[in-house]
Amino acid sequence: MRRVMFPYLVFCYTTMIYGLPAITLTALYQVMSGTWLKVGVIAVAPVAYAAILATIAGLFSLPHQKYIVAGTFRRDLNEPLYFHRRMYGLCWTSVYYFKVVYYICLTIPRLKALTFRLFGYRGNLDFTIYPDTWVRDLPLLRFEEGAYLANRATLGSNIVMTNGTIRVGSITVGKNSCIGYLALVGPGTCVGGNVEVGLATAVGINAVIADGARIGPSSAISHGAMIGEECYLGELSYVGACSRLAANIKLAANSQVPARKHVCDQAAANRFATRRANIPEALPRA
């Protein structure tokens, strides 16, 4: 039944999300009697259109938000959780992919707050994000004060699996942490406070990066790995699945930590370095 309803609902939602703002502004323009009033309507039309569109899309998403939960689900429109995910996704991407509208929503603080709250985000609103930063499943995201999500970073709260399922998980980015340009963060990942995830770095599913850690550019942290407090990973480093790095560990550039290793001290960390001369003695911060 849901599979049959889906295309009709998509048509109705899309028509109303994009059509109602245009109808509203056209009607407002026509009822204005004076020339200056009409000019005023034209002047505020871009912001007004963005606000109306985001509001309508957000309101349409409300019935579907309780189905945005962590877990693994069949990708079948007859599956209630997946059906409602698709409808929620339609509402969110109607805003996200309309880049002019989304840019306006992010630029005006009150409109940013309205948009994110309507789509189910409940975390701190004092964070930086860009129109090309990929986010979805807003009820599962939490950004703390001062978090910075760079251009073209991807917060992948859902991953499609080859067995016909979709895996969904929450993502947390702590206070004053930075997710760098082109970085990828998988579902279920928790990034602590004052963390730097370097550009083009990949962080897998259910990984943990503790407070104060610094991950160098083009590094990879696999599924279930844990990076301890104040750790440093040089560029192009790799930490295998379910491995653990104790606090204050420093990995040289190009270090390779295999899966399921517990690196408990610096001496153990040095054994995984391929270029040990790159182990930093100090960790200056920008």
User: What does the domain layout of the chain look like in residue ranges?
Assistant: 1-120, 127-286
Helices (H), the chain: 2-31, 35-61, 80-96, 99-107, 109-118, 266-270
The pLDDT of residue 8: 95
Measured CA to CA, the distance from residue 110 to residue 157 in angstroms comes to: 25
Residues 146-150: what's their mean pLDDT?
98
Residues 143-156: what's their mean pLDDT?
97
For residue 161 the two structure tokens come to 């699996």
According to DSSP, residue 157 is labeled S
Query: Maximum distance among all alpha carbons in the chain?
Result: 79
Tell me the CB-side half-sphere exposure of residue 62, using CA atoms within 13 A.
Answer: 9
The pLDDT of residue 12: 96
The pLDDT of residue 238: 96
Tell me the three state secondary structure of residue 216. coil
127-286 CATH fold: UDP N-Acetylglucosamine Acyltransferase; domain 1 (2.160.10)
Residues 140-148: what's their mean pLDDT?
98
Q: Decide: residue 67, CB within 10 A, 0-12 exposed, 13-18 middle, 19+ buried.
A: middle
For residue 62 the two structure tokens come to 């409300």
Sheet holding 238-239, edge to edge: 154-155, 184-185, 202-203, 220-221, 238-239, 256-257
The pLDDT of residue 276: 47
Tell me the CB-side half-sphere exposure of residue 184, using CA atoms within 13 A.
Answer: 15
Measured CA to CA, the distance from residue 172 to residue 208 in angstroms comes to: 10
For the whole model, what pTM was predicted? 0.90
**Tokens 């928790």, residue?**
190
Phi/psi at 212 (5° precision): 80, 0
The pLDDT of residue 35: 84
Residues 36-64: what's their mean pLDDT?
95
Phi/psi at 76 (5° precision): -135, 125
**Tokens 């306006």, residue?**
104
Measured CA to CA, the distance from residue 184 to residue 201 in angstroms comes to: 6
Asked if the model's pLDDT at residue 249 lies above 50, the reply is yes
Confidence of residue 27 (pLDDT cuts 50, 70, 90): very high
The pLDDT of residue 2: 85
Residues 263-281: what's their mean pLDDT?
76
Residues 5-28: what's their mean pLDDT?
95
In contact, 129 and 123? CB cutoff 8 Å: no
**Tokens 């709250």, residue?**
117
Q: Give the helix/strand (H/E) hosting 158.
A: strand 158-160
